[in-house]
Structure 1
Amino acid sequence: MNHRNHIDPAADLDDEIRRISGRRIAGSLKWLRRIREQPAEAVHEVRKDLKRLRALVRLLQDTLGKRRHRKLQRDLRNAGRLLSAFRDAEVRLQLVKNLVDQSDPAARRALEEAVERIQSVHQGTVKTEDLEEAADEVMTLLRGARRRLRVWVVPSEGLGKQMEGALFRSFEKARLAMRRTLIHPVAENFHDWRKACKTLRHQLDLVMQPGGEGGEHPRIGTLHELSEHLGNLNDLDVLEESLEPLAEGTLDIAGLSAIRRELEERRTELVRESWAAGEGIFSREAENFIPLRGHCPAFSETWLDSPG
């Protein structure tokens, strides 16, 4: 864990929130200025920062007020969407390349044909000038968010209880997403479950004590593991969409069936791992999974017991 992104319990909470949000925005702006030289890495890093910023804003939504919270969330969400086309194209291409490396020689030639088609679509869909234009728009949105956060007055009285409530709501949202996925296990529900788990993990990253030798707290580690399983499932859905050009290619039915069996085996295993990890987390109540007193230095007894 990077402790510069962790709330220091010995520091003023107001200052810590401004420091962490300011550091995320400054880091994103720095990457966006490198978008021409390092497009894939810049997009990846900025999207990570945006997700963590949104998690922080959601953690503090009670102090922001509904109007300001909605405005910040909308701007940060729109910033991420401006970069999503490039990220999606990169992911599709890399996933198919990985499948080529893992496939038997009979299927490899047809898969390489799919790679060529996806590369052609990628080059036609995401142009450098379009990406730079998107980066400029993202920088404008981030600068606006930074201005609003700088003038935001964070009331320390009762803030601990408000943040505790926000964490519990995030936990319940992730649990509800799992329940929906158990009832109707379609790609959209798995995706929503993954997003809810990542928000909760990013929020806990801010407040929970690190584990042994400065690593992740075990609670965060279990959420990280679940998010990885769900992320791999999402990648599998993207991969399947990316393989559609094979329908008009030269691979015969036997070859297509072999690829389908391999993908189904991967899906079955990932779903099984997701259910197991999710059950271990969400079969308990929020206050039992998030033991703030004694585990979260930011949530001192004074914070939690102060009048709100």
Structure 2
Amino acid sequence: DFLTEVLPSSIDDELEIEKTPINLASYETELSPEKEMKLIGEVRMVLAHNCYKCHSGAKIEGELRLDEKEFVFAGGENGQILIPGNPSESEIIRRINLGKNHDDVMPSKGKLLSKDEKELIALWIAKGAPWPDGAAQQSVYRVAELAPRNPTLPAYKAGLENPIDLWVDEYFQENKLEWKGVVDDKTYLRRIYLDITGMIPSPQDLDEFRQDTRTDKRSIWLQELLSQSDDYATHWLTFWNDALRNDYTGTGYITGGRYNISDWLYTSLRDNKAYDQFVKELLNPTEKSKGFIEG
């Protein structure tokens, strides 16, 4: 809930993830080892999407954690939350069935559990709350479709060699917008300097640019600016610091021990690291890039 925790609950409730229907009937008969594993997988998925934001290793309210077996059966500050084989006497069943405005309702934030989700947890407890070894290796988050997308390029149009310009042109046509005229030399030079180095050009730079008679001088000057790798890296480090939440090394008491990635980030920008490699090193980190996911 990194982005949604500050939203009013009425807005937060609308941010609904599409859920896979739960086939409760498949668990009514005696459970085989395979069905036990599937059942706990579905139970843990419900807990992950509805309860982990308040009851997991990242945040523990009421001394209750629901992300690992030993913690679930240990309960919280008010004692055990479930009695295997007896859902009617299990505290978790009472709480997930309370009204939205009740002080004890779970989850206390966001949407309440659906009818199927409540019945699933009750059925799991009624079956003895099985939690087979190996369940921890299962994924508990719903996976979005990540198939590569290859969008259809709009029809070629003279003067628009860049594919992005073709999509912009299509947008302009749909919204009855006109292309702006080509900007003058002073405006162009100022824009590329600010974009690439964060600095404005000097008067001498502007005079030299105006006197440059080459027909492709704009492209040439742009490439020369991009070749100033240290200036580029220094400027863009600021934006990536914000995007990746880079910060100084913490004490560890509050943050769990965080690490800055400034040296890795600066070097990556300076050396023009490919984006796919950039992402790989953040998610499967080296010692210098581990600060993005650790702490």
TM-score band, normalised by the shorter chain?
Answer: under 0.3
Structure-2-length-normalised TM-score? 0.22
Structure-1-length-normalised TM-score? 0.21
Q: Between Structure 1 and Structure 2, which shows a larger proportion of helix residues?
A: 1
Structure with more relative contact order (C-alpha pairs < 8 Å, separation 6 or more): 1
Larger Rg: 2
